Structure 1
Amino acid sequence: MAETPSIKCLEAFHAILITGSATAAGKRLGTTQPAVSRLLSTFEEYVGFQLFYREHGRLIPTDEALALQKEVELTLSSVERLGALATNIHHSNVGSLKIVAPVSFLSGPLADVVADFMRTHPNVRISMDSRSPESARELVARRTVDCGFIQLPEHHPGLRAESLLAGRMVCVMAPDHPLAQRKILKPKDLRDSPLILLGKGRYSRGQIENAFRTEGIPMRVKIETHTVATACAFAKRGLGVAIVNGLLAEQFAHGAHITNFSPKISVEYGFITSAHTPMSRLTEAFFEHCQRCLS
């Protein structure tokens, strides 16, 4: 059997089936009659038998040609679907995106961002997971997930980090707390207040401890938790003053009072991807969308 025919050969065969002539097929395909005839000859050489005979100036398909028609149409349809899929992939309109982020970030700043992205990319499937910062780093570095959001600075050698969002640490407390009327709270103001903090090992926790240490104020840590939501819930109930990320606290502090903490402790979140491979088109499109929404 001759060399496998090209898609153009199949298109020429199908066009002649529909139009009944090489000239009309050429017009349909945007080419010339001789070019169509050559493509048909190549296809006939491949299959090993005649596909058309001439009758009253028209090309009439043989029984063998009609037997091939359905399979050729299926092949051309598959090629068309492949082209459409490639176009959608190129424009980031299809595919799946796996994201990892702190639970407070997922339900807070990221919720509207993802909702907007889904409206403009309805055929994209998104999977979101909440993990500890340590687990999130490894999942992204190993490319188990496509991207993540993490508090900066980030120094993991397997990660690429881009700054997205910045804020500051705040104090959250019950509205009737004695310190609720202060415009700003310093470590000395919190000397006698039970504190609610996120667990040790976080960059911001170290900065808070350093602020108290610098002023020589002992910390009265009453509750340690792992989410801003939980810290705010306890603070609203009068169990102490929570020192937490202001970017995330707003969504959980309804019914509570928020005051800025001083010295100012900046909080910055970044978009992380694996440093071992370039971002996919879809991940890059999502990153650019995040930049527009969160800038």
Structure 2
Amino acid sequence: MKLNLRSLEAFRETMLSGSATAAAGRMGLTQPAVSRLIAQLEQEVGFELFYRERGRLSPTPEALIIYDEIDLAFGGLERVDALARDIAAFNTGLLKIVAPPSLSESVLSTILPRFMARFPKVRIAIESRSTATARAMVANRTVDCGFVKLPLDRSDISTVTLSTSETVCVLPDTHPLTAHEVLTPELLRGEPLVLLGAGTWTRRQIDDAFRERGVRPDVRVETHTVGSACALAAGGLGVAIVNALLADNFARPGVAIRVFRPQILHEYAFMTSALAPMNRLAAAFLEEAQTFFREQAR
């Protein structure tokens, strides 16, 4: 048996309002149209739903039994309708993001409050994983989106470039090298350095810059986040060579930042899986991230 949804609605409204006339008003139909829908439902189920006495409808025992189930079913449909409207208006949902720790501790702390002010009922889950794991999580859609440092050579990931920034040196503002606006491997000869861990693309570029200038870097501390590198440099353990975009977020009194040459650029991109369209929440978050980085570039 396949029951007509409109007939079920007419029956439910009649039960709720007490008459076909009132049900018609709630449904935007005429009273004869509601009566026809109820008659059609009675034919489909094979038993009467109402006693008809002098133009009035009184529910049969069978109608009272079936009404509870129909009311529950329509309640479920109304909840689905409300949920769909909430999703469309960004009044619900979960956005899963993967980002490097340094980005989570800096740039995201500015972007997220702005995004959540626009969509206060959306929940956020942030994952901080290794670069390889982060890319895999985005590609297989374990998370909705993420931030990645370019270059990236994967056909299963789509990227939108967000920012390009310089490499800088972070050091105490009492350090003699602050007399220079630009620091080079030659000026850093013999200086203790704080560098991000070996094996990354940027670290290889820094090592190459020193080697090409005939300078052996004195790496005193290796760490894995820009935040820790800046903190160690501020503590006097060495000169940190890091991404300017992230270093700016850790600038504080007593710390100086100088440009590093030769120029080493850092490109960050927003990534989503190339195997499926970007979902609406991720698209809205990308829009917020693009606005932030445009403002930073001014």
TM over 0.5: yes
Give the unaligned 5+ runs of structure 1: none
Q: Does 1:174 align with 2:172?
A: yes
Corresponding residue for residue 223 of structure 1: 221
Corresponding residue for residue 248 of structure 1: 246
Distance across 2 between alignment mates of 1:182 and 1:205:
23
Q: Deviations over 1:184-234 (max 9, x none)?
A: 212221122121111122222222223223333322222211111121121
Alignment of 1:49-60 (within 5 A): 49-60=47-58
Corresponding residue for residue 233 of structure 1: 231
Distance across 1 between alignment mates of 2:106 and 2:7:
56
Q: Does 1:269 align with 2:280?
A: no
Deviates further, 22-31 or 131-140? 22-31
Q: Which amino acid aligns with 1:23?
A: T
Corresponding residue for residue 259 of structure 2: 260
Alignment of 1:26-45 (within 5 A): 26-45=24-43
**1:204–1:19 Cα change, 3 Å:** same
Alignment of 1:71-86 (within 5 A): 71-86=69-84
SS of 1:188's equivalent in the other structure is coil
Distance across 2 between alignment mates of 1:277 and 1:18:
44
Q: Does 1:108 align with 2:106?
A: yes
Q: Does 1:136 align with 2:134?
A: yes
Once superposed, what is the RMSD of the aligned Cα atoms? Answer: 1.9
Q: Deviations over 1:234-265 (max 9, x none)?
A: 11121211000111112333231111112332
Corresponding residue for residue 6 of structure 2: 8
**1:10–1:292 Cα change, 3 Å:** farther
Distance across 1 between alignment mates of 2:4 and 2:88:
24
Alpha carbons 1:89, 1:281 under 8 Å: kept: no
Alpha carbons 2:90, 2:121 under 8 Å: kept: no
SS of 1:160's equivalent in the other structure is strand
**1:294–1:39 Cα change, 3 Å:** farther
Q: Deviations over 1:161-180 (max 9, x none)?
A: 11112321110011211102
Distance across 2 between alignment mates of 1:156 and 1:18:
58
Corresponding residue for residue 152 of structure 2: 154
Alpha carbons 1:23, 1:32 under 8 Å: kept: yes
Alpha carbons 2:163, 2:269 under 8 Å: kept: yes
SS of 2:24's equivalent in the other structure is helix
Distance across 2 between alignment mates of 1:35 and 1:56:
19
How many matched pairs?
293
TM-score by length of 2: 0.91
SS of 1:239's equivalent in the other structure is coil
SS of 2:2's equivalent in the other structure is coil
Distance across 2 between alignment mates of 1:140 and 1:127:
14
Q: Which amino acid aligns with 2:47?
A: F
Distance across 2 between alignment mates of 1:44 and 1:178:
93
TM-fit CA distance, 1:104: 1.2
Q: Which amino acid aligns with 2:63?
A: A
Identical residues among aligned pairs (%): 49
TM-fit CA distance, 1:159: 1.3
Deviates further, 271-280 or 99-108? 271-280
Q: Which amino acid aligns with 1:159?
A: I
Q: Does 1:285 align with 2:287?
A: no
SS of 1:123's equivalent in the other structure is coil
Deviates further, 72-81 or 118-127? 118-127
Alpha carbons 1:185, 1:259 under 8 Å: kept: yes
Alpha carbons 1:100, 1:130 under 8 Å: kept: yes
Runs of 4+ more than 4 Å apart: none
Q: Which amino acid aligns with 1:68?
A: I
TM-fit CA distance, 1:89: 2.5
Alpha carbons 1:5, 1:42 under 8 Å: kept: no
Alpha carbons 2:96, 2:125 under 8 Å: kept: yes
TM-fit CA distance, 1:286: 1.9
